């Protein structure tokens, strides 16, 4: 119960910070506190101390605050290297035009230097801590996005890259993925020699049009990829048996707010495909949210 309460407290602190002041740690503030020539590790330590202060932590006066700083904040925080992400095959190969169709828009967004963001799914520990995986870049970082009515729907940024990697690594044979976005998973999976085909199921014709006209022609593995316009659950119920996939990746939710119900619904179809491996985007976060919901009902 104590860890559960701490999980909730940390979750709210991170959410409030990201919503209200993700750029509170500034280059100028760090420069005041860092000695000249300080390395990346020293910078991350000072950044973490400042972040804890902005979260309202007082580790000198409170044992609970000290525990949060040592067992949540610092294990989850990473100073990220922009070059690593810019070297991602999708970044190196695909150019995103500024283009709109209906409510959908292809564009670019950016992180400011030292802006805090989520970099991956939750980190779960043996003692049941749910650690938010946070990160920052020491310089401005631009990333491609697709917006719906001005709201970010999917972006190829660290959180998307890292939280999709396990599914990309596991994909093989005939692959079905639900949710198109910018085609990141389809692109990365189709590049693998062990992947025979990638069928993308997307219900919105405008998203499909943007993808087919602007992005798919840039894919070197275009011949492996097909896009089907369908509701995900209609496809699961009526069409997927004809494909007989070896691997399925489900990514049709924006976050846990709309994802838990869809996740539970999708899991019910697994028994119909005993030879198919299923994986789900941000599944650790979805499971934690589901457990909290069920415990609150009890």
pLDDT for 294 equals 75
Percent of the chain at pLDDT exceeding 70: 99
- Dihedrals phi, psi of 155, to nearest 5 degrees: -135, 150
Instruction: Tell me if 132 sits within 8 A of 118, measured CB to CB.
Output: yes
Give the CA distances from residue 276 to residues 130, 163, 203, 226, 247, in Å, rounded to whole numbers and listed in that order. Answer: 29, 21, 22, 19, 5
Q: Is-contact 25 51, C-beta < 8 A?
A: yes
CA dist 62 → 56, 57, 58, 83 (Å):
11, 8, 6, 39
pTM: 0.93
In Å, what is the CA distance from 188 to each residue of 35, 95, 219?
A: 41, 15, 10
Query: End-to-end CA distance of the chain, in Å?
Result: 14
CB atoms within 10 A of CB 210: 24
Domains of the chain and CATH, by start: 2-78 (no CATH), 82-155 (no CATH), 158-297 (3.40.50.150)
- CB burial of 234-267 (b: ≥16 within 10 Å; e: otherwise) equals ebbeeebeebebbbbbbbbbeebeebbebbeebe
Q: What rounded mean pLDDT belongs to the chain?
A: 95
Tokens 């959908």: give the residue. Answer: 104
Helix and strand numbers (H, E) in the chain are: 14, 14
Give the number of other CB atoms < 10 A from CB of residue 80: 17
pLDDT band, residue 298 (cuts 50/70/90)? low
Percent of the chain exceeding pLDDT 90 equals 91
Q: How far apart are CA 154 and CA 144, in angstroms?
A: 9
- What is the tens place of the pLDDT at every residue in 151-209? 998 999 999 999 999 999 999 999 999 999 999 999 999 999 999 999 999 999 999 99
């Amino acid at each position: 119960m104590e860890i559960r309460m701490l999980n909730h407290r940390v979750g709210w602190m991170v959410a409030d910070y990201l919503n209200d002041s993700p750029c509170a740690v500034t280059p100028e503030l760090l420069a005041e506190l860092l000695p000249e020539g300080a390395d990346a590790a020293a910078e991350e330590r000072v950044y973490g101390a400042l972040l804890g202060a902005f979260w309202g932590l007082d580790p000198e006066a409170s044992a609970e605050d000290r525990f949060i700083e040592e067992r949540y904040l610092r294990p989850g925080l990473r100073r990220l290297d922009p070059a690593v992400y810019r070297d991602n095959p999708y970044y190196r190969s695909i150019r995103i035009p500024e283009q709109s169709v209906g409510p959908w828009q292809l564009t670019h967004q950016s992180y400011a230097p030292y802006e805090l963001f989520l970099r991956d799914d939750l980190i779960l520990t043996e003692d049941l801590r749910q650690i938010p995986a946070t990160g920052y870049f020491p310089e401005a970082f631009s990333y491609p996005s697709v917006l719906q009515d001005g709201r970010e729907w999917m972006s190829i940024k660290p959180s998307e890259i890292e939280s999709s990697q396990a599914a990309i690594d596991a994909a093989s044979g005939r692959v079905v993925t639900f949710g198109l976005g910018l085609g990141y998973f389809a692109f990365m999976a189709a590049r693998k020699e062990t992947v025979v085909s990638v069928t993308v199921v997307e219900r919105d014709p405008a998203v499909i049009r943007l993808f087919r006209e602007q992005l798919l022609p840039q894919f070197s593995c275009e011949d492996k990829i097909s896009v089907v316009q369908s509701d995900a659950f209609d496809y699961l119920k009526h069409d997927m048996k004809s494909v007989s996939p070896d691997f399925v990746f489900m990514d049709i939710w924006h976050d846990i707010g709309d994802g838990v119900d869809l996740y539970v619904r999708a899991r019910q179809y697994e028994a119909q495909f005993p030879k198919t491996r299923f994986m789900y985007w941000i599944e650790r976060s979805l499971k934690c949210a589901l457990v909290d919901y069920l415990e609150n009902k009890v």
